[in-house]
Amino acid sequence: MSARAAGALIVLCGAIFLEGIDVAMLNIALPAIRADLGLSTTTLSAVVSAYVLGYAGFMLLGGRAADIFGKKRVFLTALAVFLAFSGLGGFASEGWMLLLARFVTGAASAFMTPAGLALITANFPEGPQRNRAVMIYASTASAGFSLGLVAGGLLAAIDWRWVFFAPVVLAAILLAIGPRLITDRDAGTDRGKFDIPGAIALTGAMLLAAYGVTRLEHPGEGMQWTMAVFSASALLWLAFILIERASSAPLVRLGILRSGALIRANLGALLFAGSFFGFQFIASLYLQELLGWTPMQTSLALMAIGIDAVVAPILTPRLVDRFGNVRVILAGFLLALACYGLFSRMGFDWTYAAMFPSMLLLGLAFALGYGPLTIVATDGIAEDEHGLASGLVNTAIQFGAALGLSGVSAIGAYMLGDAISPEARLESLRVALLVPLAAAALGALVMATGLRGRDGSRREAVA
């Protein structure tokens, strides 16, 4: 690796590190935000969902923008927008202001992430060298998550608004040094069409789908409106497909979806993220609102999940070399399933020793799942479509996170009803945990289908 390539990798990893701490710190601060702004559980989950839906809704447009206008230009511009609206979120005085700031910040990440990943893959040849670079990139995101848990606890203990102000400092540093270190062999000479209608249809479809799920928390109230929301979402999904088929420069070249490995990677990413984010939401509310733990105590409790920052770059590549991507991802799903099953025993008398195995298992699951899913999603894809492929898998991750959060919020609120007792709230969280459990089980099933080749022998089915 040349000195310039190493410098570029540092900046790009810094950006994904920024995203990791941003998400982790917010998760820890959720109860403090609820107490200050008086938000309901549904609105509280929407604070997280707003970010991931903005992320998911514009991810494909971000990948396309990187291919058209140049990866470096898109990356730096998106980083500047991220900085501005992350700071704006800290000044929110009402729920809608916070939701707006998080949505725009998520949209900025949607342009920044595929451009960053495409810049990495463009500088390393396909094979072990690229896999190692991607693993470093993925483990940096995990390290950001781990540090974000600690920082989130410290900052939320002072004032939850610092959770939004802190990323501004790191983003400013990256903006100052990034232009000098990042190089882009493709500066964006293709001035093709920008598929804005496709992006609007996709974003609308996902927003309505997530909103429809949250409306299920009151099945007897306005069911006709709920079904209308789901129908509108389905129509927008259909419109998106038709727009892509007719467009001369689509967000998604539908032919890329013929890759079985790509489809499995995206389904797996969606289900893994849905279970992971749903569990974090449940754990944060359980620890702080039912057990009465402080934000700092909650941060330290969840920090065991950050073991993936150590395991991913050291152990995961060796496991992939020996067993293949699909088997390693499947193992990750099974570990996540074990984590959620163990955590379902949560009670008022639980000590940290009782919940530690769950946290550890989830950290190992993330280490085995995230990096290999990213590799499978881009393996065998043409160089000029890496932005698209990385955009697809990140869209799946963020949309899955939004659905997982919406599902957990809807089921928890439905089970709670009008009850306010601690016992009722605990039972509602236990039932809501069925969402991560079901998602992990389905994800394991999806990945297991990739273990059998056409000849019926046991082998990986990669791109």
Q: Which residue has the higher pLDDT, 251 or 365?
A: 365
* 228 within some domain: yes
Question: Which of 15-19, 75-79, 80-84, 141-145 bottoms out in mean pLDDT, i.e. has the lowest?
Answer: 141-145
Confidence of residue 459 (pLDDT cuts 50, 70, 90): very low
Domain count for the chain, please give it: 1
Give the model confidence (pLDDT) of 156-174 as tens digits.
888 888 888 888 888 998 9
Confidence of residue 462 (pLDDT cuts 50, 70, 90): very low
Mean pLDDT on 74-102: 89
* 440 within some domain: yes
* 463 within some domain: no
Q: What pLDDT was estimated at residue 437?
A: 94
Burial of residue 2, with CB atoms counted within 10 A of its CB: 0-12 exposed, 13-18 middle, 19 or more buried: exposed
Q: Are 331 and 353 in contact (CB under 8 A)?
A: no
Mean pLDDT on 455-460: 36
Q: Are 66 and 118 in contact (CB under 8 A)?
A: yes
Helix (H, G, I), strand (E, B) or coil at 382: coil
* Secondary-structure percent of the chain, ordered helix, strand, coil, rounded to 5: 80, 0, 20
Instruction: Give percent of the chain with pLDDT exceeding 90.
Output: 17
Burial of residue 200, with CB atoms counted within 10 A of its CB: 0-12 exposed, 13-18 middle, 19 or more buried: middle
Q: Which residue has the higher pLDDT, 251 or 353?
A: 353
Give how far Cα 388 sits from Cα of 164, 246, 255, Å.
30, 18, 12
Question: Which of 29-33, 64-68, 203-207, 427-431 bottoms out in mean pLDDT, i.e. has the lowest?
Answer: 64-68
Flag whether pLDDT at 141 surpasses 90. no
Question: Which of 6-20, 48-62, 176-190, 400-414 bottoms out in mean pLDDT, i.e. has the lowest?
Answer: 176-190
Q: Which residue has the higher pLDDT, 289 or 131?
A: 289
Encoded tokens for 194: 């920008």
At 377, which CATH number? 1.20.1250.20
Mean pLDDT on 120-126: 69
Flag whether pLDDT at 453 surpasses 60. no
Helix ranges restricted to H, 182-289 = 196-215, 223-246, 260-285
Give the model confidence (pLDDT) of 280-293 as tens digits.
889 988 998 889 89
Q: What pLDDT was estimated at residue 336?
A: 94
Mean pLDDT on 435-444: 94
pTM of the full structure: 0.76
Q: Which residue has the higher pLDDT, 414 or 200?
A: 200
Question: Which of 134-148, 203-217, 253-267, 311-325 bottoms out in mean pLDDT, i.e. has the lowest?
Answer: 134-148
Q: What pLDDT was estimated at residue 246?
A: 86
Cβ contacts of 184 within 8 Å, gap of 6 or more: 70, 71, 72, 73, 119, 122
Q: What pLDDT was estimated at residue 383?
A: 66
Flag whether pLDDT at 463 surpasses 60. no
* 462 within some domain: no
If phi > 0 it is left, if psi is from -120 to 50 it is alpha, else beta; for residue 443 that is alpha
Q: Which residue has the higher pLDDT, 65 or 432?
A: 432
Return the exposure string of 312-339: e unless at least 16 CB atoms fall within 10 Å of the residue's CB, then b.
bbeebbebbeeebbbbbbbbbbbbbbbb
Q: What pLDDT was estimated at residue 187?
A: 57
Q: What is the domain range of residue 437?
A: 3-185+195-451
Mean pLDDT on 301-310: 79
How far apart are alpha carbons 441 and 327 in whole angstroms? 15
* 214 within some domain: yes
Q: What pLDDT was estimated at residue 443?
A: 93
Q: In terms of Cα–Cα distance, which of 423, 398, 435 is closest to 114?
A: 398
Q: What pLDDT was estimated at residue 457?
A: 34
Average pLDDT of the residues of the chain: 81
Mean pLDDT on 129-137: 73
Mean pLDDT on 321-337: 91
Flag whether pLDDT at 364 surpasses 70. yes
* 460 within some domain: no
Q: Which residue has the higher pLDDT, 215 or 97?
A: 97
Host H or E run for residue 313:
helix 308-314
Q: What pLDDT was estimated at residue 458?
A: 37
Flag whether pLDDT at 430 surpasses 80. yes
Flag whether pLDDT at 47 surpasses 90. no
Question: Highest-confidence range of 19-23, 162-166, 193-197, by mean pLDDT?
Answer: 162-166
* 456 within some domain: no
* 119 within some domain: yes
Encoded tokens for 259: 């890759």
Flag whether pLDDT at 220 surpasses 70. no
Flag whether pLDDT at 207 surpasses 50. yes
Cβ contacts of 204 within 8 Å, gap of 6 or more: 57, 233, 236
